Amino acid sequence: MNAFRFAVAVALATWLWSDLACARPITYTGGQVLVAEAQADQWQARYTYSHSFRYSTSVGYLSMDDLRRTGELDLAYARLAWLARRWNQPNSQGNLFLWGGLGHARTDLGSGVGRHVGFQADWETRRIYTAAVSELHDGAGWRHRNDTVSLGLAPFEHDFERTAVWLVGKGMRTVGAVEDKPKAALVLRLFNPSWWLEAGVDSNGKPLAFFMINL
């Protein structure tokens, strides 16, 4: 492999590693991702296609229960995500993503249009990962919001082609839930350029898991 091809390979590897490392709503042009996530009182599944490094579209399904106003929420939706800003440094990267979508929502109050908007702000090196994510869902007579902040630490830097190991602490809150108060979680994260697996437990002793695969 000549120097030019090697440089291109390293750049592409870094790009793919970085996009997967943060579970971002947009990957590389033409990228396809399947996501499944479950935690106490909610679960969701989502398919995402990235039209470019700036934009992606998704279709998904979200189910939540133990909500104060609606009892439960079942939402089938489509959404558009946008990379609003990216900060590249020699040994770190930061991003700001925005998204919004519409879908069909069913709650104990009835069925109708469900809207949602959200953002993700993240910053990472190959040893430290931080992120803040917030997503607001609302419809006729109801509104709920999920907030999550994360801090991840890697015991050592990982090669691109090998599986990375991270320990991640999270602070989470569902505004509008019966139990509307912050809670903590600790998870073990494993990922490589093809897949991501996360499993742990929250401060109430309930399990949570996240799985993502690049198609």
Using alpha carbons, select from 101, 98, 171 the residue that is nearest to residue 138: 101
Tokens describing residue 3: 């120097």
Q: How many other C-beta atoms can be found within 10 angstroms of the C-beta atom of residue 116? A: 22
Location of structure tokens 């002793």 = 205
The total number of residues written for the chain in this structure: 215
Residue 199 confidence (pLDDT): 98
Tokens describing residue 131: 């992120």
What domains sit in the chain, N to C, each tagged with a CATH number? 3-214 (2.40.160)
Distance CA 201, CA 204 (A): 8
Q: Which SS3 state, helix, strand or coil, does residue 22 take? A: coil
Residue 27 confidence (pLDDT): 86
Alpha-carbon torsion (62, 59, 85, 128), positive or negative: positive
pLDDT along the chain (215 residues), means of 10: 41 40 76 95 96 97 92 96 95 95 95 97 94 96 95 86 91 93 96 93 96 94
